[in-house]
Amino acid sequence: MNARQHAVAAITSWSQNGARLATKDVPIRRLYGMNVFSDEVMRARLPENVYRALRNTIKKGAPLDETIADVVATAMKEWAMERGATHYTHWFLPMTGLTAEKHDSFLSPTEAGPAIAEFSGKELVKGEPDASSFPSGGIRATFEARGYTAWDPTSPAFILENVNGTTLCIPTAYCSWTGEALDKKTPLLRSVEALSKQALRILRLFGSDASKVFSTAGPEQEYFLIDKNFYYARPDLINAGRTLFGAKPPKGQEMEDHYFGAIPERVLAFMHESETELYKLGVPVKTRHNEVAPSQYEIAPIFENANVATDHNMLVMETMKRVADRYGLQLLLHEKPFAGINGSGKHVNWSLADDHGNNLLRPGDTPHDNAQFLLFLAAVLRAVARHGDLLRVAIAYAGNDHRLGANEAPPAIISVFLGDMLQDIVNQIEKGGAKSTIQGGEMRIGVSILPPLPRDAGDRNRTSPFAFTGNKFEFRAVGSSQSIAGPIVVLNTIVAESIDDLITPLETAVAAGKDLNTEIQALLPKVIAEAKHVIFNGDNYSEAWHAEAAKRGLPNRRNTIDSLPDLISPKSIALFGKYGVFSEREIHSRFEILLENYKKTVTIEAQITLQMAMRQILPAALRYQGEIAQSVANLKSAGAVVPKTQVSLLNELTATIEELQTAIAQLEEASEAHVEGDTYAHAKHARDEVIPATNAVRAAGDKLEGIVAADLWPLPTYQEMLFIK
């Protein structure tokens, strides 16, 4: 038996043994948040004044009083040790897009007698991971190799359980000694600051006493699950997270019978346990269902403050990966694990909220609320109109290139969907309060009440990359494996700028005693006129839209290499610099890292493709060629007629083998070519030379899959991976 046949055999004898749910009988109410140093725990364990000070920092962004750190550290340590923790770690989000931990023991041996448990405020607040192996994009020279981690009190500490012990995890930001951000959290926190500062100016004008605005996020996470045995038989899945070979199965998703269909038993068990683990970590996961493709599923949480939601989405991905293992399953988070089958995205629902819990993108019930809503809405619209290129950058990487622009995901052109109702209102406002076709009334700011906007699925435009869905925007072009931090940083920052530009003249006018509503009524048409070319309510998949978008001057960056230079444009550097989110050096470091990542991904895929082609596919094809040749020879020597069809099969096979070998030689050449120039030149070479050569090897390999005898074929097929559960 070859690896593939082993895999199929192993799956038929899989049993639920070992997979268990220790907490099956614990009620959710007890389970939820039990491993979180939550508000409730803090209130119970911290002295009143310390609790208040910390809460002030968390809720209102007040600077953290250093004197309280020791008290918090002690309480945190005691709480964690009661729950079996032996170690603690500063948990951070390096620019790899993954999470990182460096564990330290609570215990310090003493000269006299037993070890004592130590964990001071200093250790809570600041850590020094030896992190020279994390990417810094040139920021960190070797002489300043160390970065440090700084406690982020706005994201709660939590305990990660393992069968042999538990670890206290402290969410932290990660910076260089020169104060430059080396991670994804620092810019996120800065962008929330920037957004808060600007959004509060709108709220002030409307008489609100809110003291903080933050963005909220609810990421809907798509993923595939396949049997682990198949995974281990596919070097491409192991090393690249996606299949680099594989002919499309005869039964693909044409039937569309998987979507919202019954969830298979083993997968359901996996979902239950993942959710239980996530509840313990205080991650409010809520919905689960099948997705469009076979073996594809989705999990979605209830939205939270974007900083916490970002940490929680990392926990969702990591927890599911761990739990899948217990069920003999492999979680695939790649954007396109199977060519020709729907890929996976992450719809990031995004909105703004104040610290009173008001959603600022929710149309209000009074004319007063509506005026405020329309200001925020117009600000977002114009932000996307100005900086669609940066939203595109935020989702640009090799994995997502396979998805964007295909007929399953939004195109690479960033536009906004508003829906008919809101579109009509926006049109009226632009015309300065003309008659409404829908309402028959007149839209006067501060006077009219908005009609209730539809929020049902019927009004959704699934083809839009950025859609208003009643009380939030849904950014649908985000990839399934990526951290949501980047997209949220861009959204927060571009909206902060847009609000800033909009609010300054209003503040001046109001200070001069003018009427706010009249001023807004005069201002909004200008903002909408500037932004309206980014609004598109039609079919984003259509060719007509591509032509129309080009006419409107909307950028269409078809892939990562075309998109990334927008990150270092003067417009981008000025924007991020003005709002203190990225310094110019930080932007360049990210540009370097993104290019480097792209090149590495493409190179690794090319290498795996070569290996599989030479060591698995070619040998199988040659063996089969030998078998046919032998059977032809046998017929000849027996004096029988050799059917033409047999000879032509042999010829076809031989020609395809030759095609494969030629493609292999070309890919080797493209991979080894000497490239002059900087990182961009290398990444561009990867896109223009290496990817096409890799695709050619795959094409020949997939053709062979259709010819070579099934019992000789070494790789689990799409059919097997997607339909045997």
Q: Which residues bind ligand ADP (CB under 6 A)?
A: 216-218, 220, 300-303, 349-351, 359, 469, 471-472
Cβ nearer to ligand ADP, comparing 168 with 217: 217
Q: 316: closest CA among 394, 434, 218?
A: 218
Cβ nearer to ligand ADP, comparing 347 with 590: 347
Contact 600, 397 (CB under 8 A): no
If DSSP codes are grouped into helix, strand and coil, which group holds residue 329?
Answer: strand
User: Residue 297 Cβ, how far from ligand ADP at the closest point, in Å?
Assistant: 14
Cβ nearer to ligand ADP, comparing 251 with 286: 286
Q: Which pair of tokens denotes residue 234?
A: 């596919």
Cβ nearer to ligand ADP, comparing 358 with 423: 358
DSSP calls for 135-161 = --TTSS-GGG--EEEEE-TTS--EEEE
> Which residue number places its CB atom closest to ligand ADP?
218
Q: Which pair of tokens denotes residue 631?
A: 């059977």
Cβ nearer to ligand ADP, comparing 77 with 472: 472
CA 4 centroid distance within chain: 32
User: Residue 217 Cβ, how far from ligand ADP at the closest point, in Å?
Assistant: 5
Identity at 241, one-letter amino acid code: G
User: Residue 281 Cβ, how far from ligand ADP at the closest point, in Å?
Assistant: 17
Token look-up 């110019």 returns 584
DSSP calls for 185-251 = HHHHHHHHHHHHHHHHHHHHHTT-----EEEEEEEEEEEEEEEHHHHHT-HHHHHHSS-SS-PPPSS
Neighbours of 725 (CB within 10 A): 16
Cβ nearer to ligand ADP, comparing 220 with 605: 220
Handedness of CA 39, 43, 44, 45 (dihedral sign): positive
Cβ nearer to ligand ADP, comparing 468 with 624: 468
CA 410 centroid distance within chain: 15
CA 210 centroid distance within chain: 30
User: Residue 59 Cβ, how far from ligand ADP at the closest point, in Å?
Assistant: 18
User: Residue 474 Cβ, how far from ligand ADP at the closest point, in Å?
Assistant: 7
Q: How far apart are CA 348 and CA 353, in angstroms?
A: 16
| Whole-number CA gyration radius for the chain | 28
User: Residue 54 Cβ, how far from ligand ADP at the closest point, in Å?
Assistant: 25
Measure the N-to-C terminal CA separation of the chain; round to a whole number of Å: 20
Cβ nearer to ligand ADP, comparing 460 with 533: 460
User: Residue 32 Cβ, how far from ligand ADP at the closest point, in Å?
Assistant: 16
Cβ nearer to ligand ADP, comparing 124 with 188: 188
User: Residue 349 Cβ, how far from ligand ADP at the closest point, in Å?
Assistant: 3
Greatest CA separation for the chain: 108
Cβ nearer to ligand ADP, comparing 52 with 289: 289
Neighbours of 248 (CB within 10 A): 13
User: Residue 540 Cβ, how far from ligand ADP at the closest point, in Å?
Assistant: 18
If DSSP codes are grouped into helix, strand and coil, which group holds residue 297?
Answer: strand
Cβ nearer to ligand ADP, comparing 166 with 351: 351
User: Residue 18 Cβ, how far from ligand ADP at the closest point, in Å?
Assistant: 32
CA 167 centroid distance within chain: 26
User: Residue 231 Cβ, how far from ligand ADP at the closest point, in Å?
Assistant: 28
DSSP calls for 613-647 = IIIIIHHHHHHHHHHHHHHHHHHHHTTPPPPHHHH
Cβ nearer to ligand ADP, comparing 303 with 466: 303
Neighbours of 133 (CB within 10 A): 10
User: Residue 266 Cβ, how far from ligand ADP at the closest point, in Å?
Assistant: 25
Token look-up 């500062």 returns 197
CA distances from 432 to 337, 420, 428 (A): 50, 18, 6
Q: How far apart are CA 269 and CA 265, in angstroms?
A: 6
Cβ nearer to ligand ADP, comparing 170 with 283: 283
Q: 192: closest CA among 273, 34, 22, 306?
A: 306
Cβ nearer to ligand ADP, comparing 296 with 625: 296
User: Residue 651 Cβ, how far from ligand ADP at the closest point, in Å?
Assistant: 54
Cβ nearer to ligand ADP, comparing 312 with 685: 312
Q: How far apart are CA 284 and CA 278, in angstroms?
A: 7
Q: Which pair of tokens denotes residue 269?
A: 């068990």
Non-local CB neighbours of 687 within 8 Å, separated by 6+ positions = 559, 560, 561, 598, 602
* Residue 563, beta-bridge partner list: none
DSSP calls for 440-482 = SSB--TTTPPPPPPP-SGGG--TT-SEEE-SSSEEE---BTTS
Cβ nearer to ligand ADP, comparing 348 with 506: 348
If DSSP codes are grouped into helix, strand and coil, which group holds residue 413?
Answer: strand
User: Residue 135 Cβ, how far from ligand ADP at the closest point, in Å?
Assistant: 30
Contact 521, 542 (CB under 8 A): no
Identity at 32, one-letter amino acid code: Y
* Residue 222, beta-bridge partner list: 298
Cβ nearer to ligand ADP, comparing 489 with 715: 489
User: Residue 260 Cβ, how far from ligand ADP at the closest point, in Å?
Assistant: 11
User: Residue 215 Cβ, how far from ligand ADP at the closest point, in Å?
Assistant: 8
User: Residue 377 Cβ, how far from ligand ADP at the closest point, in Å?
Assistant: 13
Q: Which pair of tokens denotes residue 224?
A: 């595939």
